[in-house]
Amino acid sequence: MRTITLSLSCMLGCSTALAQLPDHTQVFEPVPALVTGATHAAAPSDAIVLFDGRNMNAWEQLEDSAAPQWDIEEGVVTVNGTGTLRSKQSFDNYQLHIQWRASDVIEGESQLRGNSGIFLHSLFEVQILDSWENPTYVNGQAGSVFLQHTPLVNAAKQPGEWQSYDIIFTAPVYLPNGTLQSPAYVTVLHNGVLVQNHVEILGSTYTRAPEYESVCTPFAHREEQACDGSMPLLLQDHGQVVSFKNIWLREL
Ligand code: MG
């Protein structure tokens, strides 16, 4: 790393405001990689594309690792009751973009309207729900870290409209003896609006109380597995019609 310390002569000759700065250093290297930014549907140039509208080859059924059976039509994949999906690839820390749409045919209420979810690290659910004029417990509405953190605001759109999540996830870290060294953190933007600001995830969503275990049972999965290191992403089939498109992820 190459740095330049503000010299005393600069401080004397520079503006009062600059002179009042603490002893900062200017950092020139490493230079951040040049990445084409996301515009609308396009994924950044360094993203791992998990669904581009053509196939669900990056996913498998959680239950039996078979090919997903969700419906794909006109660049959109839709939950149809055939089961929760798991990404074939595992991830550690990442930025995730996903667009989702609750059905415009309003059926059910509360948790039974447009319910799906994204299980970060297979364990921690960021809730997807039709939260347009649909009261429910607030730590279970769209943009919540399910049963742990209520979203800062309700940024929901009407059912039938496309919505987006941009999620920055930091995975938990365990010591070699299996004890937790640092918990998971998540930041969530819902339709571009900050709804979770680097909140600490308290533990697995579907343990009796949130807790971290080095050996755990991911959502809807019957087998225990080591939960340290990289883990797949899950997309929940909660039995309601929710569609997805433009799913991509950047490893951090
Ligand atoms: Mg859910």
CA–centroid distance, 39 to ligand 1, in Å, is: 28
Cβ atoms of 98 and 247 within 8 Å: the answer is yes
CA–centroid distance, 247 to ligand 1, in Å, is: 17
- Supply the pLDDT for residue 225: 74
CA–centroid distance, 180 to ligand 1, in Å, is: 26
pLDDT tens sequence across 165-203: 999 999 999 888 888 999 999 999 999 999 999 999 999
pTM (two decimals): 0.86
pLDDT tens sequence across 133-154: 999 999 999 999 999 999 999 9
CA–centroid distance, 11 to ligand 1, in Å, is: 55
CA–centroid distance, 215 to ligand 1, in Å, is: 23
- Supply the pLDDT for residue 247: 97
CA–centroid distance, 146 to ligand 1, in Å, is: 8
CA–centroid distance, 225 to ligand 1, in Å, is: 22
CA–centroid distance, 237 to ligand 1, in Å, is: 8
pLDDT tens sequence across 192-236: 999 999 999 999 887 777 888 877 777 766 677 777 789 999 999
Full set of structural domains in the chain with CATH: 29-251 (2.60.120.560)
* Residues surrounding ion ligand 1 at CB below 5 Å: 115, 117, 236
- Supply the pLDDT for residue 39: 52
pLDDT tens sequence across 63-94: 999 999 999 999 999 999 999 999 999 999 99
Half-sphere exposure of 210 toward its Cβ, with a 13 Å CA cutoff?
Answer: 15
CA–centroid distance, 81 to ligand 1, in Å, is: 13
CA–centroid distance, 140 to ligand 1, in Å, is: 8
